[in-house]
Every structure is written in structure tokens, then in C-alpha cells.
Amino acid sequence: MGCGASKTLAAEPTTLADDTGTSALDESNNAYTTPHPPVAAAESMDPEPEPEHEAVPAPVSAPLLVQAPPSDRRDVVTETAVKVAIAVRPLLRTGVEKGCADIARVMVPNEIQMPQGLHAGSVPVFDKAGEMMVDDGMRRFDFDRVLKVDSSAVSKQLFQLAVPCVERFCQGFNGCVLAYGQTGSGKTFTMGTAAAESEFHAKQPRGVVPQTMRLLFSYLQNAMESYNITLKVQYVEVYKDAIFDLLSPDGGMAKLDIHERATGEIFVEGVTEMDIESPDQIAELLATGNANRTVAEHNMNKESSRSHAILTLCMDQRIKLEASLIIPRDQHFLRSKLNLVDLAGSERVLETGATGDRFKEGVAINQGLHELGNVINALASGKAKQFVPYRNAKLTRLLSDSLGGNCETLFIACVSPADRNFEATLGTLRYATRVRAIKNKLKQNRMSKEEELAYLRGLVRQLQNEADKYKAFSAQLRAQLAEVGVENVPEEPEQDDTSTADANVDAAGGDTLPVKDKMSNGKHGSAGVLGTSSMVLSKTDGVTSDGPRRRGSRLPPPPAGNGGWRK
């Protein structure tokens, strides 16, 4: 169990919070008078027809297909805006029974309208056509996409905004999809962090996580032809400004610390990392983590998440030898991270009826979200030297890359359309408007020179071992030929030892192209640093040292890494 007395999450929640609850969000800053223009025209809001057969997602382009200039892109930084989507949940039956009215108007795909002057508990007036009559008109908010999430088809449309984050992750960049909103607004449902295992195999899976897994493993099937891939997962919760490991054997009881590497990367020390090779494994790990996640029941939600949950995917991609001849050298060793974040719901603690520990939890949740709001306000100010208070909370430190850092980010604001939740919904829309002004700086992540060198040394040793095997086989063949009277069989050229090969790798400084040059242009010509291994490759791979290698040729596995993706 996670820290704190509570009951655990169900495998798949079927209901959301009562529409009669309200919550308080940070409304200290008003929305901008001039809304940020939409990034791109959105697709039609009409529900998509159910396909007769399950649609197979198109494979994500492998890094070798990424459009890039021929020069080294190691220092290229691209500025990109945080994308913001609004997910409007349906008006629930309980809300209708208690007389709640739907006050959220979605007339076009990138705009939501809310009445001005309405206050919590008031009753709006409608004309005969069902249009709301408010004296001071409607307030409009523009975003990248606004959707009423009432079907799996709409969930699929919402996920289309998350696709660039997943694609960037596959190409060696960081990505993040984050769900924010009041308690019971549908964040966990939208993210799919509590989805049942069957959802990962559904014709149209609901939720960001199941759809991400489908797209990601489609990419892996394509990329394994060129890369040795290692994919790992972490699952942590931030509860009362402390970090707990949801996948640890002790049930997430031990607190973990945050540290920062020399490169500026934030990491959680001692967190459990699990190798994954299928979507089913993700489903199982989510179920394990959710059983340890802290939840509780109060007046606004029967199963309210009392912690912020962060599912992190970490991927290392190491070039295969034959692919290194056709893929640009700055794409040979890639490392990336994808955060899928389900934030705890903001709430007005007095409305929840919480007391004791539950009351303290609510205060802690709002404090963490308040600090997140301070970070967003600082980033949205646009000031070049504005101090950003990332260190004020564990949550903001973990999300420092995702907001204002090196990341492709989608921020999903989940709102309720009920009139009784007017203040909370308006606060969420203002919050999301500020997020939309944040600019991130994307830069492709590559492994350190030391890691590249270690990998290349391992390749040299494995190729040397293969060369030794073929040398022994060659000696056996010469002996057999001599027995039948065949003479003048050429001797194998003398090969350099492994230490010489390692020295040449070190001299190359981790640059894979010079290493290959040394392999093919040593004192023995095509044998080079690897001795007979180059000839062995020519025989086994169907190539010569001067010609291109055939795709799908056999090569040794990487020297290290457990559970890595190999073909």
C-alpha cells in the first residue's frame, strides 16, 4: 500500500465525481485579453464511425527517417509551445438528478465558451432553443483543441494531440502528456492510468496510456531493424510532497530522493526500473502500481486520487553495426524519456467534508498545485531572466523538463460542464491559458561519449570472438582439403589482438565513423583492426568491405543491458 490509510484504486473506474461538488483553483491571474492563437486547424468534431475491422496504427518513423540536415545536429535547439487541450466530461446522471445544468459550450473545435457573471449555486436561464441567456454574454477561451469526451472515438481524437509527444520520444527527444483539473473531472479516465488490461487490446482503446503503448510498440517493430533498444518503466507517486516508488517490492513505503546530474537532468535515486517488451507488461505494472497508490473517498469523489502519479518510460537506442553505414552518425546513440502524468485533483477542502488526515492531504495537494501554478506563471511571463521556482516542491522538480525545459509537452485540462462547478472550471481554463504561453526548448538527447565507447569496445570484442570461431573453422577446412590433396591454400592474415582494437576505439573518441574506418583500413587492409573479422562479416553478411551491407544481416547483440529489444 502507498503511504496513508486509504482504499486502493479499482481496476477501471466506471463513475466520476458528483457534479454537485466544487473546487478552488488558483485564479490570481486573469486570462490574457488576447488569447493565444491556435497552433493548427483542428479536425472535425463529428464522431468518427466505428471501423469494421481494427485499425492498425501506422508505424512511427524510426530515427533514420527523421528529416534532418546532413550536418551533426547535436547542438540544435528548437523552440516549441506547450500544446493545450480541453477535455469536457459529460454531465453525469447524478448531476442531472440534482438539477445541474450544462454551461460549457463547444461550438468550434478549438474554442470553449463559458458564461460571465455566473457564480456557484446560481441557476442559468435558457431560451426555447436551449441557448443560455446571460446578460453580460459569454466568455471565450481558445486552445489547440476542445473536445467533449463522450465516446471512444472522441478519445481517439484527443490522443491525436499526444502523438507528436510519442513520436518525439521515439526520435530521441523527451515527451510529456499531463492531465490537470478539479477532483472528479476525469483526469484518470482521460490518461487511462487505471485502465483494465482488456483496454490495451480494445478495437478503440480509451485513454492516453493504452493508445501510447499501441503506437510505441508499433514503432519498436520498425526500429529494431536498425537499433538495439532497451525500454524501461518507472511509476512513482508524489504524496504530501514526498516521492514513493509504486513498483517497489515493499509496496511503495520508502521515500525516495531527487537528484540532479551534471547535465541538468533530474532523476529519482533508487527508483525501481522494469524492462518491458509488450503492452501487457505495462498493463500488469500499472495494476501493481495502482494497488499501491493512495486514494480515498470523500464527498466529491468515491475514489479520489490523493497523490500525483507519474509513469515514466525510458528508452535507449544503440545503432546496429550494419545500420551505422546508412544512418547519420549523430543518430547512433539516442536516449529519451516520456512522462505520462495524472495529477491529483485540486479541491476546496471544506467541500470534501474531509477531516484529520484527509484534510491534511487536501491541503498538501493544493499546495503542490499552487507551486505548479507559480512555476507556470513565471514561465508564462515571457521574461528572459525570470526566476522559476522549480525547487519549491517535489512535483515541480520532477516536471522541470516538461514545463519550460527540453520536452515536447501536451497539457490536458479536464473540466466539468456542470453549473455548480462553474468557478472550478473557469479557474482551470485560466490556468490552461497561462500554460499555453510556455515555450519549451527541444534538443535531441544522446548518450555520453563514455557510454558510446563502452558499447563500441563490446562490439569489437564480440566481432573478435566471431573472427576466432571462423579462423578455427577455416583451419579445419584447410586440414580437410590437405587430406584430399588440395594444395596452396592461402593462410589467414595475422590479426591484431583485442587490446589493439580497443586502443583504436579509444583513439576514435567515441565517433563511430572513424572507428569503422580503422576497422576497414588497418595494416591488413580489409582485415584491419579486427583481423579476420572483417572478412568474416563479408562472408556472413553478403557484403565486401567496400560495399553496402544488406539489411537484416546478422550481428552480435549489444554487450550489456537486460531485457533489451533485439532482433
In tens, the pLDDT along 9-39 reads 333 333 344 454 433 333 333 332 323 333 3
Q: According to the model, what pLDDT value does residue 348 have?
A: 54
Residue 107 pLDDT > 80, yes or no? yes
In the 8-state DSSP scheme, what is residue 192?
A: T
526 marked among binding-site residues: no
**Dist CA 113 CA 105 (whole Å):** 5
When pLDDT is cut at 50, 70 and 90, the band that residue 254 belongs to is confident
185 marked among binding-site residues: yes
For the chain, what percent of residues have pLDDT higher than 70? 63
Q: Torsions phi, psi of 280, nearest 5?
A: -60, -35
For the chain, what percent of residues have pLDDT higher than 90? 31
Q: Among candidates 273, 176, 149, 163, which has minimal Cα distance to 218?
A: 163
Which superfamily, per CATH, for 73-442? Kinesin motor domain (3.40.850.10)
The tens digit of pLDDT for each residue in 390-407 reads 999 999 999 999 999 999
Which residue matches cell numbers 453580460? Answer: 136
Q: According to the model, what pLDDT value does residue 198 have?
A: 76
187 marked among binding-site residues: yes
Q: Give the chain's radius of gyration (CA, Å).
A: 28
183 marked among binding-site residues: yes
In contact, 563 and 273? CB cutoff 8 Å: no
Mean pLDDT over 187-210 rounds to 82
Q: Among candidates 259, 236, 215, 182, which has minimal Cα distance to 414?
A: 182
Burial class (CB in 10 A: 0-12, 13-18, 19+), 326: exposed
Q: How do the residues of the chain divide into helix, strand and coil, expressed in percent and rounded to 5?
A: 35, 20, 45
Cα angle 174-178-184, degrees, rounded to a multiple of 5: 165
264 marked among binding-site residues: no
Predicted TM-score of the model (pTM): 0.69
**Dist CA 100 CA 19 (whole Å):** 7
Residue 170 pLDDT > 50, yes or no? yes
When pLDDT is cut at 50, 70 and 90, the band that residue 321 belongs to is confident
The tens digit of pLDDT for each residue in 429-468 reads 999 999 999 999 999 998 877 877 877 787 788 778 888 8
* β pairing state of 266-269 and 255-260: antiparallel
- What are all long-range contacts of 503-507, with beta carbons under 8 Å and residues at least 24 apart? 504/529, 505/453, 505/456, 505/457, 505/460, 506/453
532 marked among binding-site residues: no
186 marked among binding-site residues: yes
The tens digit of pLDDT for each residue in 348-361 reads 544 544 455 656 66
The tens digit of pLDDT for each residue in 110-154 reads 999 988 765 544 455 555 445 555 444 688 899 999 998 876 667
When pLDDT is cut at 50, 70 and 90, the band that residue 61 belongs to is very low
Dihedral angle computed from the Cα positions of residues 495, 497, 498 and 501, in that order, rounded to the nearest 10 degrees: -70
Question: What is residue 301's three-state secondary structure?
Answer: strand
**Dist CA 154 CA 86 (whole Å):** 12
Mean pLDDT over 208-225 rounds to 91
Which residues of the chain form CATH 3.40.850.10? 73-442
Q: What burial letters (b/e) apply to 163-178, b meaning 16+ CB within 10 Å?
A: ebbbbbbbbbbbbbbb
